[in-house]
Every structure is written in C-alpha cells, then in structure tokens.
Amino acid sequence: MQKAIAEAARDSTRTATYLFWRTGQILDEDHGRGSVELPSQRSLYRLLEKLSAGKHTTGSARTRRSLADRPHGPFGERSATAPGELMQMDSTPLDVLVRLDDGVPARVDLTGMIDVATRSLTAAVLRPTTKSVDASVLLARTVTPEPMRPGWAQALAMSRSALPFRRLLDIDARMEHAAARPVIVPETIVVDQGKVFISRNFRASCNFLGINFQPVHDASGWEKGHIERMLGSVGTLFAQFLAGYTGFNAERRGRHVEQQPLWPLLELQELLDEWIVVWQSRPHDGLRDPLHPGRMFSPNEKYAALVETAGYVPVALSADDYIELLPATWRAINAYGVKIKHRTYDDQALNPLRQQRSGVKDRKDLWEIHYDPYDVSRIWVRDHWNGGWITLFWKQLHRVAAPFGELAWDHTRRTLPGASEEQLADAVADLLRRAHQGSADRGDPGTRARLSRRDRRVAARTKSSPPSTPIAPEAPPADRVADGEAGQADDAPEENIAKVIPMPIFDPFTEADKRW
C-alpha cells in the first residue's frame, strides 16, 4: 500500500477503493496471482489512514504535490538585515472579476514584490495578462515613490507616517508628496520558474539595474514563501471585501458573480495602491523585536529602524532608463525602415543607418530594437554608433485612431493570415470601433456585423492595457501626418466649403457708448 500511495502523489485524486485495488495488483505482480490475501475492508481503511497521514492521498491534488516536493529535514532560512537585501516576486490570478471595456467581465493577474527584511509590499500591478514587461515595470515602481492621489486621507501621507520623512526628503526631493510606502532598491530578487520571470527581457532589466537574479528550483514554492503568503493576504484582507469576489476555486464561487457591480481595472489598481499604503502601517506577526517578542512592528516601523543603519540612496529613472526596461529584439535596418511582426517603422533620423551594419558581431551586425507590447505606435532603435535612442513611428499609424497593443494585432493576423499591413491596420481599427459601439453597428440592421466572444475579449483587454512606460508621447513627424491627411483628402469627395466670416472683437467700452 505504501507503493500505491507513492504512485498517487503525482496523479489525479482517487478514492480509497482504487488504492485497495492497486495494492492488490502490486501484490500479484511481486508475489504471484492469489499468493497474498488482502485483509478485511476495515483493516485496509485503518492501514490507509495510518500510512497516508499528512499526505492528502485522497484530498487536494495540489496540496499533495506540494507536500511530496517538500524536502526532508528542517527548513533553512536566509536572514535579511537591510531593506532590499532580499526581495521576492510572484504573480497569481486575482480572485476578483473586473469589468473591462465594453462591459466584458474577466479575471486579471496580480504581480507583486515584497521586501523580506521589512515585509513591505513595495509594488503591485494588475494586468489582464501578465507579460515580462509588467515584471520589469514592477522594478521601476519599487524604486519610485508612490504619489498621493486625490481623495486619499492625509493620514496615508509619508509625512504623517512612522517613516523618517524629513531625513528622506533632504536626500530625495521626490518624497515631498509621496504616500507612506517606502522606496526600496532591490539587491537580490528571488522568483519562480514562470516564463514571465525567467524571460530574457526580465533578466536584462535586472542586469541593467544591477540586481542579482536568483530563480528558485522547479516546484519549490517554499523557497519564496514570503511572497506566497503575501499574495494570500491580498486575497483575505483585500480581495474578498470587493464586489465580484470569486473565491480561490470553483467550489467557493457564488452564482451570477459577473452580474455584480464590478470594478473597472484602472479603478481597482488605484484601490489596491491605497490598500498597500494602509498595509504598511499594519502590525506584522513576522516583525517582532527579539528583546521584546510581545510587540509587533509594522513594515514602515521596521523600515525606519533598518534604514538608520543601512542608509538610502535614491535611484531616479529617466526616460531612457524606462526604454531599457522594455523587451528587446534585433532587426536589420532596411531601405524602408524596420519591420516587426509585419509592421513597418521609419523616421528621417534613420537615414544614416539604412542598410548599415551595427558592429555588434555577437548579433550578426543587427540593430537592437526595444518595443512596448501594449503600444505598437512606436519603437526605439539603439544607435550603436553615436549612442542614445532613435524613436521610430509606425507608418500606418494614421489609419488607427485608438491606441492598441500586440494582442489585438496578433488576433487580427490570425483572422486574416494573407492580409497586407494596410489591411491589417484597417481591420484592427474596425475591431476597436465596433467594440466601442457595442456588439453590433448602429447602422442598418441588415448590415450589422456582430462581434464574436473572442473579438470582444481581445478588444476589452486591449483598451484596459495602457502603455507600460510613463514616457511622454511624442508626435509623429509632420511630413508623415501630412502625407496621411493628404491621402485621405484625395480619396474624399470634393465639397463646396462656405466662406468663413470672422467675428469682430468685443470691446465693452465701445459697446457702452452705443445707442440702441
């Protein structure tokens, strides 16, 4: 029976009856058919209860796998004595339905980062689908002060908290209007084997910021137990108090949850940011003074005590730094510009580099391109000759009025595999327009084109995913805008335009002298 229990550790959950049958099969294979007689059912149940104690053999499959992967012997623990010395990051689906654009209900992913020394939740982001760029943006948010928002209580300001506000303000002027959430620069980040965290982009972001990247072993959640427990606290202390709470599995989900007044994604993100500031002032059971174990400290109080000895060095990220955190690819610069996923980008600043070699032999003389998967309007080319970045705009940008990301573009490419770049741009614009108007166009009922469920979900997630970086939007070159408007003007029919008669300037002193 021990062998049957060991085999069930990785399989789906079965009942005790199956384990008794499997035990009989193992005995027949080892000793011959009918050589060993099984005891009574009561004896088998008593034996199973004794051998499977603490293994969840007939319980939750996820818990059973976790217990099977747990190492033998006592657990070790790496101590952290300074803020940022050891931080952990993870991502999980949030147990709340949110309302995306066009009223589409959906669950979102929560990605967070915690500092082990102070138990501070330094940053957390909500996205419809987590990408590697979201993890990189989380690094930028943890080294940036959280600004106070309109409507927040003044008690949440850093100046009203246990943090050493005056001393930090003398070092970093960004703290003047900051909320009570400490700014922590990571030294080492522990992540799991998720593709978001082990991606080339996230590793490059850690290398750029000088952060040690430390992935845990496969199926070893206990190696980053602090962030696992923190995400569970978000579910019990934050998520379950929201409308649209679904529970952490199907058995705990209520009926018609999608009909509740759901939160929009952006509003829920602001509510989560406010809750994090409140969490920072909540006493934590893991933050106790060894000399006075009866007292619990809050994350802000622990940070205030440790920063006195560890110190604080501000890290202000520029626009070029945010570009460095974006995903990178390598492309050739052709005569027509740069092409990424059937989209062509070009600019006059690219003229000296056209059809030239970058000089990076390890990349076959290709050029490094950084892009935002949530904003396809522009890309950035690293100038390997002179340094800096060159911004390139999409040549078909004038065809699409609403911003969108690669999710909508890839969905349209799968729908129209043989379409040209212009046809794909028009199809994406039509998809976003129809999604904005509703499930059908508001014209003639006979010409209504209904959206599929997949189309609505893609459009909703596209509109709910703003650009990843806070880089100020730049205007496309004037000549390209003029060409696009000129092309549209040539196709439009000629109309008689009325003469514009300007209104006279109103002078109140002159009007007062008039006789009416």
The pLDDT of residue 514 is: 53
Question: How much is the average pLDDT of 29-55?
Answer: 89
The pLDDT of residue 441 is: 44
Are 427 and 398 in contact, with CB atoms under 8 Å apart? no
The pLDDT of residue 316 is: 85
Q: Which conformational region is residue 423 in: left (phi greater than 0), alpha (psi within -120 to 50 degrees), or beta? A: alpha
Name the E strands within 10-149. Answer: 87-99, 105-115, 120-127
User: Is pLDDT of 465 > 90?
Assistant: no
DSSP of 245-270: B--SSGGG--TTGGGS-PEEHHHHHH
231: closest CA among 115, 78, 91, 132? Answer: 91
Q: What is the pLDDT of residues 399-451, one digit of tens each?
A: 887 778 888 898 889 889 889 999 999 998 888 887 776 644 444 444 335 67
252 pLDDT tier (thresholds 50, 70, 90): confident
Neighbouring C-beta atoms of residue 21, cutoff 10 Å: 13
Structure tokens at 34: 């009918």
Phi, psi values for residue 118, rounded to 5°: -110, -5
User: Is pLDDT of 474 > 70?
Assistant: no
Q: What is the pLDDT of residues 199-209, one digit of tens each?
A: 999 999 999 99
- Lowest-confidence range among 138-147, 265-274, 429-438, 473-482? 473-482
Q: What percent of the chain has pLDDT over 90?
A: 52
Q: What is the pLDDT of residues 294-314, one digit of tens each?
A: 889 999 999 999 999 899 988
For helices 132-142 and 200-208, angle between their N-to-C axes, nearest 10 degrees: 20
Burial class of 366 by CB neighbour count within 10 A (0 to 12, 13 to 18, 19+):
middle
Torsion sign across C-alpha atoms 441, 442, 448, 450: positive
The pLDDT of residue 494 is: 55
**Cα 443-446-448 angle, rounded to 5 deg:** 55
Neighbouring C-beta atoms of residue 484, cutoff 10 Å: 16
452: DSSP letter: P
- Lowest-confidence range among 63-67, 154-158, 201-205, 267-271? 63-67
107: closest CA among 90, 123, 91, 122? Answer: 91
Report the distance separating Cα 52 and Cα 8, nearest Å. Answer: 11
Given 3-state DSSP classes, what are the helix, strand and coil percentages for the chain, each rounded to the nearest 5? 40, 20, 40
78 pLDDT tier (thresholds 50, 70, 90): confident
User: Is pLDDT of 280 > 90?
Assistant: yes
469 pLDDT tier (thresholds 50, 70, 90): low
The pLDDT of residue 253 is: 86
The pLDDT of residue 438 is: 60
346: closest CA among 328, 363, 362, 331? Answer: 331
The pLDDT of residue 262 is: 92
315: DSSP letter: -
| Contacts for 306 with CB less than 8 Å, ≥ 6 apart | 81, 82, 83, 117, 118
Structure tokens at 94: 């949030």
Looking at every residue in the chain, the average pLDDT score rounds to 85
3-class secondary-structure state, position 144: coil
3-class secondary-structure state, position 212: strand
The pLDDT of residue 424 is: 92
User: Is pLDDT of 292 > 90?
Assistant: no
- Beta partners for 99? 105, 264
Q: What is the pLDDT of residues 94-133, one digit of tens each?
A: 999 998 876 788 899 999 999 999 999 999 999 988 888 8
Bigger pLDDT: 449 vs 93? 93
Range with the largest mean pLDDT of 75-89, 176-190, 435-449, 466-480: 176-190
The pLDDT of residue 59 is: 87
3-class secondary-structure state, position 69: helix
The pLDDT of residue 489 is: 46
The pLDDT of residue 445 is: 43
471 pLDDT tier (thresholds 50, 70, 90): low
Q: Provide the pairing of β-strand 105-115 with 284-289.
A: unpaired
Tell me which residue has tokens 């209504």. 448
Question: How much is the average pLDDT of 325-345?
Answer: 94
Q: What is the pLDDT of residues 128-150, one digit of tens each?
A: 888 888 898 899 999 999 999 98
Report the distance separating Cα 100 and Cα 461, nearest Å. Answer: 7
